[in-house]
Amino acid sequence: MLRFSIDSLIRRSCRSAASLLALFCLTLISTSVCYAERPNIILIMADDLGFSDLGCYGSEIKTPHLDQLAQEGLRFKRFYNAGRCCPTRASLSTGLYPHQAGMGWMTRNDNLPGYQGELGKNCVTIAEVLSSADYRCYHVGKWHLTYRMRQANENWPLGRGFDRAYGTGGGGNYFAPRPLYEDNQLIKPPKEGYYITDAFSNKAVEFLKDHNQQHKQQPFFMYLAYTAPHFPLHALPEDIARYKGHYRSGWDALRKQRHQSMQKLGLINCPLSPRDPDAKAWDSLSEKEQQEWDLRMSVYAAMVTCMDRGIGQVLEQIEQMGQTNNTLVLFLSDNGASAEYIDRGHQPGAITGTRESFRCAEVGWANSSNTPFRFHKMWVHEGGISTPLIARWPNQIKQTGDWTNQVGHIIDVMATCVDISGAKYPATKKDQAIFPYEGNSLLPTFQHPETTKPRTLCWEHEGNKAIRQGEWKLVKENDHKWELYDLSQDRSELNNLVKTDPERVETMSREWEAWAERVGVVPWDDLPPPGYTKKGPGFYRKK
């Protein structure tokens, strides 16, 4: 009816002033209605969260708000990230593989196209694309997309399409983060009563309230990137108390418990992989050691629960704005759980979880978080690259509470945002050619989750390599040989078929090499080793 009225006025040539005024008013109304029909988008990312760390993915950790989100939406069984924080964030933000976006490794500039240590000039972010289509864009949380965090620049959030931003570069102390910024200014957190997970949740709610008051007629995009549960293990005492003592049975028992829960949910049909060889048998630990490890996992669980509580506050704000039905919410993790051992700044006698402590979950608990898979963050076996993905969008996702078997990847988020927003993805930016995005829109899966199509996806990080082609996966650790798995039968990657199908190995390895050349992968051994800067051919100097 609205379009018919406008067309009628146009056909009558708008001869009178009254007709011109009517046309102007109807055009404004039409624009407002158009905005109202375009979906809002909230992209929520956890940091170092394992595949089985949510209640709705088989965990004992209390995540009621994410569990409810899953019941009201759709869960993916086979969704992938890039295996590490910076590469994943670059890929997620741009719809490109990490090397194409300039972040083939971390935030270190190696003066190579795929290793600039920050987003390159030949890519655009979701916020840049959506802001050109009159979306208001907000970033809260971890950015980690430039090595230049001491002063605002073109690769800070506001330089990459966001209207407001609050967050940190790469993480750190949850009670005293550094750096911390708001918009284009470095700021300092309060000395007392500050906890970064709560601060992120509160700031996200604040931005949404401001949007509702000042920009209600525009759709919004919010990228909420928590640092939880990335090390150091820091949590609020009342949250830790909910879990303390719960993990005294150890990581072996927890893995078995989660594996059974995941099978009951219909999430997996593969066996539980053996305990990571670097993790000790729980019974071999002393009583004191078991108490400490129980505390560490209790803090980890508390961090996840606090994040879930904050997500509940954000979802409640969307409800109060009357935007639940018209808002696509996506939740995922940047990589598998971390098995890293890092001890920096842990004060003597400090209790794990407090401001003065610095502890990691390490390999035993990371192995549990990544149940039932092998390996962890930084590897491209399933334990390193598999993420939960929850999608809720009442206007489009009708088969709520379901699972989908469609294989997806973080490169698909840009394609999805472009598809559902009607935004135009640019070919150039400031006369610089822009890479076309690599992913596929998830909208068909939202509408028909039972339909699946085969995908070919590739990975590389620190010399770890993989290609998934249909149900087949070819994967290798750096300096190891290729392994071949049929993921339809063996997603735990236990039965290496490399010797029984050498032709497939040869074909898939060639396709991986072609991909690597196309996106700008440089052999890991040809890059400066971590902690060093290249100062000429073959010469490295410690930073």
For residue range 253-266, what is the model confidence (pLDDT) as tens digits? 999 999 999 999 99
Measured in whole angstroms, the distance separating CA 304 from the mean position of its chain's CA atoms is 15
CA distance 57 to 262: 6
Q: Which residues of 49-86 are buried (b: 16+ CB within 10 A; e: fewer)?
A: bbbbbbbbbbbebbbebbbbbbebbbbbbbbbbbbbbb
Looking up tokens 């491209």 gives 380
| pLDDT tens-digit readout, 124-165 | 999 999 999 999 999 999 999 999 999 999 999 999 999 999
Q: Is the pLDDT of residue 293 over 50?
A: yes
Per the domain annotation, does 14 fall within a domain?
no
The two beta strands, 540-542 and 402-404, are unpaired
- Looking at the fold, whether 414 and 499 belong to one and the same domain comes out as no
Identify the weakest region by mean pLDDT among 94-98, 146-150, 271-275, 389-393. 146-150
CA distance 63 to 81: 21
**Which pLDDT does position 13 carry in this prediction?**
37
Mean pLDDT of the chain: 91
Percent pLDDT > 70 in the chain is 91
Per the domain annotation, does 13 fall within a domain?
no
**Which pLDDT does position 531 carry in this prediction?**
65
Per the domain annotation, does 260 fall within a domain?
yes
Identify the weakest region by mean pLDDT among 31-45, 91-105, 450-464. 31-45
Confidence of residue 1 (pLDDT cuts 50, 70, 90): very low
287-320 and 64-71 are packed helices; what angle lies between their axes, rounded to 10 degrees?
50
Residue at a domain's end among 405, 421, 450: 450
Average pLDDT for 233-254:
98
* CA angle, 244 then 245 then 249, to 5°: 135
Confidence of residue 344 (pLDDT cuts 50, 70, 90): confident
Confidence of residue 37 (pLDDT cuts 50, 70, 90): confident
- Looking at the fold, whether 269 and 291 belong to one and the same domain comes out as yes
The two beta strands, 220-225 and 136-142, are parallel
Per the domain annotation, does 506 fall within a domain?
yes
For 423, half-sphere exposure in the C-beta direction (CA atoms, 13 angstrom radius) is 30
- Looking at the fold, whether 481 and 357 belong to one and the same domain comes out as no
CA dihedral for 351, 352, 355, 359, sign (positive or negative)? positive
**Which pLDDT does position 345 carry in this prediction?**
82
CATH of the domain at 221: 3.40.720.10
- Looking at the fold, whether 350 and 492 belong to one and the same domain comes out as no
- Looking at the fold, whether 415 and 484 belong to one and the same domain comes out as no
- Looking at the fold, whether 408 and 486 belong to one and the same domain comes out as no
Look at residues 397, 458, 456 and name the one whose alpha carbon lies nearest to residue 75: 397
Integer angstrom CA distances of residue 90 from 155, 322, 526: 11, 32, 22
Residue at a domain's end among 416, 450, 484: 450
Contact between 177 and 157 (Cβ < 8 Å): no
Burial of 542 (0-12, 13-18, 19+ CB in 10 A): exposed
- Looking at the fold, whether 463 and 416 belong to one and the same domain comes out as no
Residue at a domain's end among 406, 423, 450: 450
| pLDDT tens-digit readout, 468-496 | 999 999 999 999 999 999 999 999 999 99
Q: Output 110-113 pairs: Cβ under 8 A, ≥24 positions apart.
A: 110/527, 110/528, 110/534, 111/534, 112/520, 112/522, 112/527, 113/520
Confidence of residue 181 (pLDDT cuts 50, 70, 90): very high
> At 542, which helix (H) or strand (E)?
strand 540-542
The backbone torsions φ and ψ at residue 208, rounded to the nearest 5 degrees and listed phi first, read: -65, -40
- Spell out the residues 6+ positions from residue 505 whose beta carbon is closer than 8 angstroms to its own: 474, 482, 484, 498
CA distance 386 to 52: 10
CA distance 6 to 319: 33
**Which pLDDT does position 8 carry in this prediction?**
35
Look at residues 335, 331, 409 and name the one whose alpha carbon lies nearest to residue 370: 335
- Looking at the fold, whether 427 and 473 belong to one and the same domain comes out as no
Q: Count how many domains the chain has.
A: 2
Domain span at residue 434 reads 40-450
CA distance 530 to 413: 30
| pLDDT tens-digit readout, 378-393 | 999 999 999 999 999 9
- Looking at the fold, whether 424 and 464 belong to one and the same domain comes out as no
**Which pLDDT does position 532 carry in this prediction?**
53
**Which pLDDT does position 498 carry in this prediction?**
97
The tokens for 168 are 């940190």
Per the domain annotation, does 8 fall within a domain?
no
Q: Is the pLDDT of residue 524 over 80?
A: yes
Per the domain annotation, does 9 fall within a domain?
no
Per the domain annotation, does 96 fall within a domain?
yes
**Which pLDDT does position 52 carry in this prediction?**
98
Per the domain annotation, does 12 fall within a domain?
no
CATH of the domain at 482: 3.30.1120.10
Look at residues 290, 207, 205, 198 and name the one whose alpha carbon lies nearest to residue 244: 290
Specify the DSSP class assigned to residue 489.
Answer: T
| pLDDT tens-digit readout, 297-340 | 999 999 999 999 999 999 999 999 999 999 999 999 999 999 99
- Looking at the fold, whether 109 and 194 belong to one and the same domain comes out as yes
- Looking at the fold, whether 377 and 468 belong to one and the same domain comes out as no
**Which pLDDT does position 471 carry in this prediction?**
98
CA distance 88 to 80: 10
Burial of 271 (0-12, 13-18, 19+ CB in 10 A): middle
| pLDDT tens-digit readout, 352-375 | 999 999 999 999 999 999 999 999
- Looking at the fold, whether 372 and 462 belong to one and the same domain comes out as no
